[in-house]
Amino acid sequence: MSRVAVLMGGQSAEREISLRSGEGVLRALQAKGVDAFGFDPAERPLHDLLKEAVQTAFIALHGRYGEDGCVQGALELLGIAYTGSGVMASALAMDKLITKRLWMTHGIPTPAFAKANEASPAELVKALGLPLAVKPSREGSSLGFTKIESESQLAEAIAKAAHFDDAVVVEAFVTGREFTVGLLQEPGGLVRALDVVEIVAPKGNYNYQNKYFGNATRYECPAAITPELAGLMKALSCKAFEALDCEGWARVDILWDDQTPNAQPQLLELNTSPGMTDHSLVPMAARESGLSYEDLVLAILKTARLKQSALPAPGGQVPA
């Protein structure tokens, strides 16, 4: 195995969770005999990876500068292979507004939405109804998220989300059950959907605290749904992955209104660098599929590559 740097920490609001993900990944790689070490881009310049003779980076960064195409572009310039999606797919998936617009062109069901600054509160409520979900477009871990029940709450919720990002999504709130589907790409390119996980959070509030701390949230894996519905969720997740041109692995978050006959699952977002903590959902689904945490990490590492390596250098000739 080549020398591997596990990128963790970083500068985003999700730094604490990234450190926990990275520590788990690092332990798993070392347990598998990989020459791996931790590297925090907030503490060392990325160029130091060349000094360390790193050939491959396992990206365990979450949020800005780690999941949005920034570090992916830097690694391309440094010539260091990396896990997960490339520059464009990472940037697209990080932006919930762009993701939803692209999904709609592919016929992938997603809740109705608008950009906050494109309409007045009254117009947003009229167009989308109540309740509403308000969240920053380019942030994760439910940071800046608010569920509102009245128009009078909208301005404050938008201001809260805008603290994390200047683009704010206002979305029709789907009442129902919450699910997630982990995706793992095989070396040959085939995308495998892991077992569907249902998330049962206290009062339906799957916030930052309930995601990563404490044990109040329950997880059902595989989810107690029909095989047909599970198959549909998996198929839609794979389609969503391909629509954004993702690579390596990902996780898709889904809501489903189980009280409305013939309701379609609604896809919320796709995470290109999912959590790998002891509370994280991709490792949970992988275990149910017979894949240990260590084997999951190794499988992800094996998909690492440079995405731009086939392109000619500036001024070079295109191969015949």
Q: What is the DSSP string of 23-45?
A: HHHHHHHHHTT--EEEE-TTTS-
146, 172, 198 - which closes a domain: 172
Are residues 193 and 276 located together in one domain of the fold?
Answer: yes
Residue 301, pLDDT > 70, answer yes
Are residues 29 and 129 located together in one domain of the fold?
Answer: no
Residues 6+ away with beta carbon under 8 Å from 194 = 181, 182, 183, 184, 282, 285, 286, 288, 289
Whether 239 contacts 191, CB under 8 Å? no
Residue 214, pLDDT > 90, answer no
Return the structure tokens found at 11: 């500068």
Question: Residue 136, preceding bond cis, omega within 30 degrees?
Answer: no
Provide the CA 74 distance to its chain's centre, in angstroms. 20
Kindly state whether residue 314 falls inside one of the protein's structural domains.
Answer: no
Residues 6+ away with beta carbon under 8 Å from 16 = none
Kindly state whether residue 103 falls inside one of the protein's structural domains.
Answer: no
Kindly state whether residue 27 falls inside one of the protein's structural domains.
Answer: yes
Q: Tell me the per-residue pLDDT of 98-127, one tens digit each, with 9 for 90 and over.
A: 999 999 999 999 999 999 999 999 999 999
Looking at residue 203, its pLDDT comes to 65
Residue 274, pLDDT > 80, answer yes
Residue whose structure tokens are 């329950």? 218
Kindly state whether residue 247 falls inside one of the protein's structural domains.
Answer: yes
Are residues 121 and 212 located together in one domain of the fold?
Answer: no
Looking at residue 312, its pLDDT comes to 52
Write the CA distances from 263 to 175, 209, 223, 226, 260, integer angstroms. 11, 30, 17, 14, 6
Beta bridge mates, 192: 184
Whether 211 contacts 142, CB under 8 Å? yes
Q: How far apart are CA 59 and CA 89, in angstroms?
A: 15
Beta bridge mates, 133: 147, 171
Number of domains in the chain: 3
Arithmetic mean of pLDDT over the chain:
92
Kindly state whether residue 92 falls inside one of the protein's structural domains.
Answer: no
Are residues 79 and 18 located together in one domain of the fold?
Answer: yes
Kindly state whether residue 105 falls inside one of the protein's structural domains.
Answer: no
149, 172, 195 - which closes a domain: 172
Whether 168 contacts 162, CB under 8 Å? yes
Predicted TM-score (pTM) of this structure: 0.91
Are residues 188 and 272 located together in one domain of the fold?
Answer: yes
Are residues 143 and 183 located together in one domain of the fold?
Answer: no
Kindly state whether residue 295 falls inside one of the protein's structural domains.
Answer: yes
Are residues 165 and 194 located together in one domain of the fold?
Answer: no
Looking at residue 31, its pLDDT comes to 97
Are residues 40 and 138 located together in one domain of the fold?
Answer: no
Are residues 146 and 201 located together in one domain of the fold?
Answer: no
Q: How far apart are CA 169 and CA 95, in angstroms?
A: 10
Kindly state whether residue 100 falls inside one of the protein's structural domains.
Answer: no
Residues annotated catalytic, as ranges = 14, 141, 212, 251, 253, 269, 271, 275
Write phi, then psi, for 287 (nearest 5 degrees). -60, -40
Could you list the residue range(s) of the whole structural domain that residue 24 is in? Answer: 4-83
